[in-house]
């Protein structure tokens, strides 16, 4: 399996939510969302503007889709005044969103002053330990896929299904979740393929064929007894040259990156179920559960037993950075 596929396999969805927004001019909405990636696509009608803190406004027309991390605003015009989305949501009498319960079908939201309309598709993605995943953490605050780029020709039929009003038929929720996950992974993949040479962190490492081999080895066998020397062997490089090149591209030493990936997997497995720590320690390459507990606490700030009870409390949104 190629390096990028190995990395993309690390994306795990806990839930997805689908919404249709019909917004009539004038309108503006402020989304104070932290830690939950959201995709916004313009389906029909007038264009709109996406504004992120500290970034220039982005025009979205029919067929365009944006993947956003963190807070953002959607506006009918560049200088429109937004209203709080939560207040507008409550005013519509819509049910409160719960991360513990996946919606049975799309949510329909209408808002605005009664003028010309913009119809949007909204997708929210609940990722398992998303902000502990090196892939998610390396993404820019916004990824835009233009409708005329033809990068994902299957996107339109998928969106039409997600917007389907005939949700009473069996299997809609399961199919919608898979399609939403496909859209998310495909947008991330499209971004990585277009930005790999100019990216940062492990993304730059993937662009180097030799360093990519070491990254794949770490992701494929995180519990192996890796050393700088053995990883250099995977890359076909001398130990010294490999260590220097890896640190230059990935912005971490090989062992630091290995630990980071192991701790991501540990948090994911502990969050899913009450795993046997001794077995988990062995699977992730630790000689004892005491060594594993110590590494986990140093990395996450809490013991594994405490993390199990409240993994989401550590899943906070990091500061956004400007896309390269």
Q: Which two tokens stand for residue 247?
A: 């640190």
b/e map 80-94, b = 16+ CB within 10 Å? bebeebeebbeeeee
| CB-based contact 258:249 (threshold 8 Å) | no
Are 4 and 34 contacting, i.e. CB atoms less than 8 angstroms apart?
no
For position 9, what pLDDT does the model report?
79
Nearest to 312 by CA among 261, 275, 267, 277: 267
Question: What pLDDT was estimated at residue 320?
Answer: 31
Residue 318 confidence class, pLDDT cut points 50, 70, 90: very low
Q: What is the pLDDT of residues 118-127, one digit of tens each?
A: 999 999 888 8
Average pLDDT on 188-198 reads 73
CA pair distance 267, 270, nearest whole angstrom? 5
Q: Which token pair is 163? A: 């917007």
Give the tens place of pLDDT for each residue, 201-247.
677 888 788 998 999 899 889 999 999 999 999 999 999 999 999 99
Name all domains of the chain by residue range, CATH numbers in brackets.
3-196 (2.60.120.280), 202-314 (1.10.10.60)
Contact call for residues 125 and 180 (beta carbons, < 8 A): yes
Q: Mutual orientation of helices 239-250 and 209-220 as an angle, nearest 10°?
A: 90
Q: Give alpha helix (H) positions in 251-276.
A: 254-272
Return the bridge partners of 40, or none.
66, 122
Cα angle value 287/236/197 (rounded, 5°)? 100
pLDDT digits (tens, 9 = 90+) for 42-58: 999 999 999 998 888 99
β partners of residue 15:
126
Residue 109: strand, helix, or coil: strand
The DSSP bridge partners found for residue 57 are none
Q: Per the confidence metrics, is the pTM higher than 0.85?
A: no
Q: What is the pLDDT of residues 10-28, one digit of tens each?
A: 787 888 888 899 999 999 9
Query: Strand pairing partners for 124?
Result: 17, 38
């Amino acid at each position: 399996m190629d390096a990028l596929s190995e990395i993309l396999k690390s994306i795990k969805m806990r839930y997805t939510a689908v919404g249709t927004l019909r917004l009539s001019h004038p309108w503006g909405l402020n989304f104070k969302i932290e830690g939950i990636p959201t995709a916004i696509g313009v389906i029909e009608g007038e264009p709109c503007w996406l504004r992120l803190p500290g970034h220039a406004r982005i025009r979205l027309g029919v067929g365009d889709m944006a993947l956003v991390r963190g807070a953002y605003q959607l506006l009918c015009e560049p200088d429109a005044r937004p209203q709080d989305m939560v207040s507008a949501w409550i005013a519509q009498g819509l049910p409160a969103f719960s991360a513990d319960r996946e919606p049975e079908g799309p949510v329909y939201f209408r808002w605005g002053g009664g003028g010309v309309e913009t119809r949007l598709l909204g997708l929210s993605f609940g990722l398992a330990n998303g902000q502990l995943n090196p892939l998610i953490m390396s993404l820019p605050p916004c990824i835009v896929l233009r409708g005329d780029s033809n990068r994902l020709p299957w996107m339109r039929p998928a969106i039409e299904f997600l917007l389907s009003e005939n949700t009473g038929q069996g299997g809609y929720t399961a199919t919608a979740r898979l399609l939403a996950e496909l859209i998310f992974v495909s947008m991330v993949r499209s971004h990585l393929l277009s930005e790999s040479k100019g990216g940062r962190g492990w993304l730059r490492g993937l662009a180097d064929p030799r360093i990519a081999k070491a990254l794949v080895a770490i992701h494929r066998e995180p519990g192996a007894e890796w050393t700088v020397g053995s990883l250099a062997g995977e890359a076909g490089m001398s130990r010294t040259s490999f260590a220097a090149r890896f640190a230059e591209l990935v912005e971490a030493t090989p062992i630091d990156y290995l630990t980071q990936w192991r701790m991501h997997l540990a948090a994911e497995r502990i969050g899913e179920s009450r795993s046997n720590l001794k077995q988990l320690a062995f699977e992730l390459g630790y000689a004892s559960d005491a060594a594993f507990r110590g590494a986990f606490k140093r990395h996450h700030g809490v013991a594994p037993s405490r993390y199990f009870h409240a993994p989401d409390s550590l899943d906070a949104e990091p500061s956004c950075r400007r896309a390269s």
